């Protein structure tokens, strides 16, 4: 497979396929990751759309190890290692760093709401000190619509001051462009890498000085997203962005994780891909039919998706 030594500008929070007993399906998982890498997409395994908070710590260890054993290059990996329990976050982060992963994506502890910046600073500081490895590169994960625990600009400032280099960047999934722009303006001059949390903000992010996006639909529409990230200074960039928005808007009409898995099941010819782990449920027949019609009307395709089917 093709390798890409530099840090990718587009990452996908990789979907986790499950078998009929809701165990991770390693064969499908490795095939999907290889397919994404062939299109220069980085692998943000154990992200929101990976159903990461429905996976155990041992399962995450096993999935990461399976990718390494399959020859997926660690320089393309950004495992999600945040957890409500600090010892779990330290364990997962140590494992990722020792694997050679280029970085880790770290949610705040999200169960308790209304926590202070001081509490969040202590969490991230204890995580960094607990890992105790200068090779650690931490990307903060700001997703207040889901976590209900925002990461303020002042918190990021404090973490950068204490741990320059180690605190390497952020995924901003807040949905507020003004916040993303403020992160870029305030921190990017220090080498802090700002990724938008959706390709809907990709062109704006790149024009402002950010580095790219970490986006759910990178799982199903990787080629066009990477093309914009690589060719954003060309004359057709706005048209490319409009095309990405149209595809994303289709998926956003449905529960996103089941919809993306349904699309892979359809395009790969492998119906088992549609399985999600409870408490999520698959799209029903009417939803699946509506999704296919809308995607067909939009000219959607997944070149090479037949490779994602489990033999």
Give the residue numbers annotated as catalytic, written as ranges.
141, 171
Which residues, in sequence order, are CB contacts of 166 under 8 Å at separation 6+?
A: 128, 134, 136, 137, 138
Spatial distance between the Cα atoms of 165 and 289, rounded to a whole number of angstroms: 48
- Separation between Cα atoms, residue 308 and residue 203, nearest integer Å: 29
Tell whether 214 is in a known binding site. Answer: yes
Instruction: Please choose, from the candidates 138, 80, 78, 82, the residue with its C-alpha nearest in 3D space to the C-alpha of residue 102.
Output: 78
Distance CA 219, CA 43 (A): 10
Tokens representing 225 are 């997203």
User: What sections of 106-255 are H helices per DSSP?
Assistant: 117-131, 144-147, 153-162, 177-187, 202-208, 222-230, 237-251
239, 299, 221, 277: which is closest to 39 by C-alpha? 221
Residue closest to 139 by CA, chosen among 114, 110, 173: 173
Residue stretches of the annotated binding site for pyruvate: 214
């Amino acid at each position: 497979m093709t390798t890409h030594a530099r840090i990718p500008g587009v990452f996908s929070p990789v979907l986790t396929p499950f078998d009929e007993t809701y165990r991770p399906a390693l064969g499908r998982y490795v095939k999907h990751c290889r397919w994404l890498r062939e299109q220069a997409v980085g692998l943000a395994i154990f992200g929101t759309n990976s159903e990461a908070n429905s996976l155990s710590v041992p399962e995450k260890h096993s999935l990461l190890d399976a990718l390494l054993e399959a020859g997926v290059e660690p320089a393309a990996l950004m495992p999600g290692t945040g957890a409500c329990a600090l010892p779990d976050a330290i364990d997962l982060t140590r494992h990722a760093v020792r694997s050679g992963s280029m970085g880790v994506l770290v949610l705040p502890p999200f169960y308790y709401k209304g926590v202070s910046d001081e509490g969040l600073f202590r969490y991230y500081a204890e995580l960094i000190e607990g890992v105790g490895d200068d090779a650690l590169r931490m990307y903060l994960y700001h997703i207040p619509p889901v976590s209900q625990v925002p990461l303020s600009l002042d918190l990021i400032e404090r973490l950068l001051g204490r741990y320059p280099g180690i605190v390497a960047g952020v995924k901003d999934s807040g949905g507020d462009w003004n916040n993303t722009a403020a992160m870029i303006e305030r921190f990017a001059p220090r080498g802090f890498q700002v990724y938008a949390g959706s390709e809907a903000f990709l062109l704006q992010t790149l024009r402002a000085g950010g580095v790219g996006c970490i986006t759910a639909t990178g799982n199903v529409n990787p080629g066009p997203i990477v093309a914009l990230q690589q060719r954003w200074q060309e004359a057709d960039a706005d048209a490319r962005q409009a095309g990405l928005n149209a595809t994303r808007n289709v998926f956003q009409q449905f529960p996103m994780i089941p919809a993306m898995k349904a699309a892979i099941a359809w395009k790969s010819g492998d119906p088992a891909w549609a399985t999600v782990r409870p408490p999520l449920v698959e799209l029903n027949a009417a939803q699946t039919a509506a999704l296919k019609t809308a995607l067909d009307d939009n000219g959607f395709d997944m070149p090479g998706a037949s490779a994602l089917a489990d033999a």
